[in-house]
Structure 1
C-alpha cells in the first residue's frame, strides 16, 4: 500500500476517526481507571496526528514512498527500454560502457501526456560515474527538439526543496507547463529542463555538498549529471548553454553550483533560497569538522573573500512573509563584477509554491536572455 496512495490515506483517516469515536464512547465507561483513560487518549491522538501528517505529505509530496520515508530508497531503478527514441551514446554491456542516463517511460502531468505540440516529459534514471549516486529525474524536451534533429538546446537543472519530490516541479511549480506556454508564445527560447530533488541519498539533506567520507552530492550535480545529460540529449555547450534553478534548498543549491562551477553553469535562479548551508538533524556534519570547508559553502563568505565568478544570478524574496528578505538584500549588496545579480521582490509572499508560481514566468524570461544556443 503506497505512502501517498488513496487507500492508505483513507485507511489512516478511518482509523483516526474510529479511535476518536472510541474515546468518546469508552472514556466515560473507564471510570477511575487512569491508565486506561490515558491509553485511550494517547492512541487516539497518535492516530489523529498520523492522519494529518499523511494528508500533508500526500499534498506536498515530501516523501513519495516508504523507502524515502525510512531512508531505504536505492534510486529509481533500471530502465524499461527506450521509448524516447534516443538511447544514450555508448550503448551498454559488451558493446560499450553502461549508459549514464536510462529512459524509463514517458511521464504524465495531471494524468495526461503533454500534448505533442508542447513537447515531451520523460522519467529517467541518472547514474553518477564519479559519485556513485543513482537518482530519478524528469526531463522536459521542447517540441523543437523533435522538429529539428540537428539543433542543440540549452539545459536548466531544476531542483526542488528538501525533502521534496521531483514531481513537485511538475505538479506544484508547473515548470514544464509554464515553459511550454512561454516557448509557444516565443517569449523564451526552447530549452531542456532536468528536474530533480536535491536529496539524492535519502533521508540525508546534503545541501548539494561533497560530504567528507559521505555522499558526493556536489560531484553528482556538477559533473555526473551534465555528463549523463550530454550523452543522452542534444545539448548546448557549457557553460554558456547551462543553468540551474531551484526553490528553497534547491535555490541555495542552484546558486552554489553556479558560483562554485562557473565552468559548467552560466546562470542560476534562486526562488526563496538561502545563502548558507543549514546544519540540523537532517544534515549532520557536512564539512568533516572543517571551518575552511564550511566557509567555502557559505555564499556570502565566498563573495567577501574570493574572486567573484563570471555568472548571472536571479534571487527572489518578499518584504513581508519571507524570512530570507534581509539575507537576500545582504547577498545582493555583496555581488560585484564579473558576477551580476538581478532580483524579484514581492511586497508580500511566503515560502510556498503559490509565491514561486508568480515568480517563475518572469524568472524564465530573464534566464532565456542569458543562455546561449
Structure 2
C-alpha cells in the first residue's frame, strides 16, 4: 500500500484508536511497581504516541503533498525526470557583488575549473525593488579563450517563502549545471538565483500590486537589465530563460507567457496556474480586474494572444495535487500556436526538494536547447 493510500491512513488512525483504548483498559493492570509493569506502561505510551503521530503525519502529507511514496519519504526515489515535448512535429549599475563562494567543496578549486557563485544585491532601476541573489558563473566565464563570449542566463526562483541559499545548497542548481556541462549534456549557462518574495514577508506572487511592489516588472525588466549590464549575458530575448518551483514555478510560467520579449522559455516545477489570495498575499489586486485576470494563467491562455515562447510543466501521478490541472494546462497550450509546451511527469513524487532535484537535470537541458546567447 502506498504512502498516500487511504487504506494506510485508515490503518494508522485505527491503530491509534485501538492503542489508546488498550492503554485505558490495561493501565489498572499495569499499576504496580514491578519491572514488568513499568515496562508495560512505557510500551503502551510509546506505541500510542507513535501511532498518533503517524496518523497526524499521514493526514498532513495527504493535505499538502510533501511526499508521494515511501521511497520519496526516505529519500530513495532517484529516477530522473524525462522531458516530453508536446509541440506538433517535434520530439551594471543597479547590481553589486557582495561575496562569492565555490560551486564545489573541493579544496583549492579555481573558478576557471569549477565556476563560482557570487552573492549580489540588485536594485531595480524602474521599480526601486531591492533583492539579494546568487549568480552562478560557469568555468568558461573565467577562461581566457572565452573572454569575449556571451552566455545564456536563466533566472531560478524558489517557492514561498523559500531562501535563495536553498537553490544553491539544497536543490544544487550550480553543481548540476556544472556536472551537465562537463558531461557535454548542456552548454555553459549563467544562473541568477533568488526568491520571488521581493517584499518579505508578503507573498506578492510576481504581481504588479496596485500601489505596492511592482514585482512582475522587476523580474521582466529590471532583473535582466541589471544582470546584463554587469555580466557577459547575451542581449537578445533568446538569451534568457526562467525556472522555479511551486510559487516560483507559477511565476516562471507567467513571466514567459506575459513577457516573451524578455524570456524565451519558462519552466514551472510543481506549479499552480492562478495566484492565490490568502493571509500571506493580502489584497494583490486592489479591485483591479485586469490585473486579477492577467494573474490567472487559464484566463491568459483563453483571452491573450499566444506568445512565441516555450513552456515546461512538471507533476507526478502520485504525490502532487496539481497533476490534473497540469494535464489540462498541457492540452490547452497545445492549441495555442506559436506557444510550445513540454512536460515532466513522474510516476511518484511529492511537493519537496527530492522531487525537484530529480527534475532539475532534464529541465536545465531543456532550457539549454531553447536559449541562444548569440542571437540579437
Deviation per CA, 1:314-358, whole angstroms, max 9, x where unpaired?
Answer: 110011110000111111111121000000101111100100000
Question: Aligned runs of 1:139-288 on 2, under 5 Å?
Answer: 139-147=135-143, 148-288=146-286
1:305 Cα deviation (Å)? 1.3
Q: Is the 8 A contact 2:274 2:295 kept in 1?
A: yes
Give the Cα–Cα distance (whole angstroms) in 2 for the partners of residues 284 and 359 of structure 1. Answer: 32
Q: Is the 8 A contact 2:103 2:174 kept in 1?
A: no
Give the Cα–Cα distance (whole angstroms) in 1 for the partners of residues 106 and 298 of structure 2. Answer: 43
Q: Is the 8 A contact 1:317 1:346 kept in 2?
A: yes
Give the Cα–Cα distance (whole angstroms) in 2 for the partners of residues 110 and 290 of structure 1. Answer: 47
Query: Secondary structure of the residue that 1:187 maps to in structure 2?
Result: coil
TM-score by length of 2: 0.71
Matched, 1:135 2:131: yes
Q: Is the 8 A contact 1:128 1:224 kept in 2?
A: yes
Deviation per CA, 1:193-246, whole angstroms, max 9, x where unpaired?
Answer: 000001011000000111000111111111111110011011112311100000
Give the Cα–Cα distance (whole angstroms) in 2 for the partners of residues 339 and 348 of structure 1. Answer: 28
Q: Which residue of 2 aligns with 1:120?
A: 116
Give the Cα–Cα distance (whole angstroms) in 1 for the partners of residues 366 and 108 of structure 2. Answer: 25
1:111 Cα deviation (Å)? 6.5
Deviation per CA, 1:48-86, whole angstroms, max 9, x where unpaired?
Answer: xxxxxxxxxxxxxxxxxxxxxxxxxxxxxxxxxxxxxxx
- Number of paired residues? 276
Q: Which residue of 2 aligns with 1:297?
A: 295
Q: Which residue of 1 aligns with 2:355?
A: 355
Q: Is the 8 A contact 2:103 2:114 kept in 1?
A: no
1:113 Cα deviation (Å)? 7.9
Q: Which residue of 2 aligns with 1:25?
A: none
Q: Which residue of 1 aligns with 2:98?
A: 104
Give the Cα–Cα distance (whole angstroms) in 2 for the partners of residues 135 and 261 of structure 1. Answer: 21
Q: Is the 8 A contact 1:121 1:138 kept in 2?
A: yes
1:363 Cα deviation (Å)? 1.1
Q: Is the 8 A contact 1:206 1:283 kept in 2?
A: yes
Give the Cα–Cα distance (whole angstroms) in 2 for the partners of residues 176 and 372 of structure 1. Answer: 19
Judging changes above 3 Å, is the alpha-carbon distance between structure 1 residues 132 and 272 closer, same or farther for their aligned structure 2 residues?
Answer: same
Query: Secondary structure of the residue that 2:301 maps to in structure 1?
Result: helix
Q: Which residue of 1 aligns with 2:316?
A: 318
Between the two structures, name the one with larger relative contact order (CA 8 Å, sep ≥ 6). 2
Q: Is the 8 A contact 1:161 1:198 kept in 2?
A: yes
1:291 Cα deviation (Å)? 2.5
Per mean C-alpha deviation after superposition, the further-off stretch among 228-237 and 100-109 is 100-109
Give the Cα–Cα distance (whole angstroms) in 2 for the partners of residues 305 and 360 of structure 1. Answer: 31
Deviation per CA, 1:121-167, whole angstroms, max 9, x where unpaired?
Answer: 00000011111111100000001111111000001000000000000
1:109 Cα deviation (Å)? 5.6
Query: Secondary structure of the residue that 1:124 maps to in structure 2?
Result: strand
TM-score by length of 1: 0.72
Q: Is the 8 A contact 2:102 2:116 kept in 1?
A: no
1:292 Cα deviation (Å)? 2.5
Q: Which residue of 2 aligns with 1:338?
A: 338
Give the Cα–Cα distance (whole angstroms) in 2 for the partners of residues 322 and 255 of structure 1. Answer: 18
Greater Rg by CA: 2
Runs of 4+ in 1 over 4 A off after TM superposition: 108-114
1:114 Cα deviation (Å)? 8.8
Question: Aligned runs of 1:2-41 on 2, under 5 Å?
Answer: none
Gapped regions of structure 2 (runs ≥ 5): 1-91
Give the Cα–Cα distance (whole angstroms) in 2 for the partners of residues 113 and 356 of structure 1. Answer: 28
Query: Secondary structure of the residue that 1:254 maps to in structure 2?
Result: helix
